[in-house]
Amino acid sequence: MARGGFRGGSPNMNNMMKQVKKMQEEMQKAQLEIEETEFESTSGGGVVSAKVNGKKELVALKIDPDVIDPEESDMLEDLIIAAINDAMKKADEFSGQKMDKLTGGINIPGLM
């Protein structure tokens, strides 16, 4: 008979496997929440608005018609880039915070 008299592994191993399974389920739930959450940002005092989802897909872009001037297309392009980049940054921060809660701040390679 094996030491301890337990078949199929120790109770500690079984408990650890249950905890791992629970953590995986929580991480899948968090990942789904991250993907479904939308992040919005504006630039130029609100003349350009961009919205991205947690999958980092641009889902909406609004431009105030008053700023559409062919002579100043460079400025408009810069405002669009700034709004999109800021919305993406918000998505990254939210995702990082969500996963840090689950992992206790431990970096798990391949997780995100």
CATH of domain 12-103: 3.30.1310.10
pLDDT of residue 110: 57
Task: Determine the 3-state secondary structure of 84 from DSSP.
Answer: helix
**Cα–Cα distance for residue pair 97/94, rounded to 1 Å:** 5
pTM: 0.66
pLDDT of residue 7: 57
Interval 6-21 mean pLDDT? 78
Q: Is the pLDDT of residue 2 over 60?
A: no
pLDDT of residue 67: 85
Question: Taking Cα atoms as reference points, which of 28, 27, 38, 30 lies closest to residue 90?
Answer: 38
Interval 71-86 mean pLDDT? 90
pLDDT of residue 109: 60
pLDDT of residue 64: 92
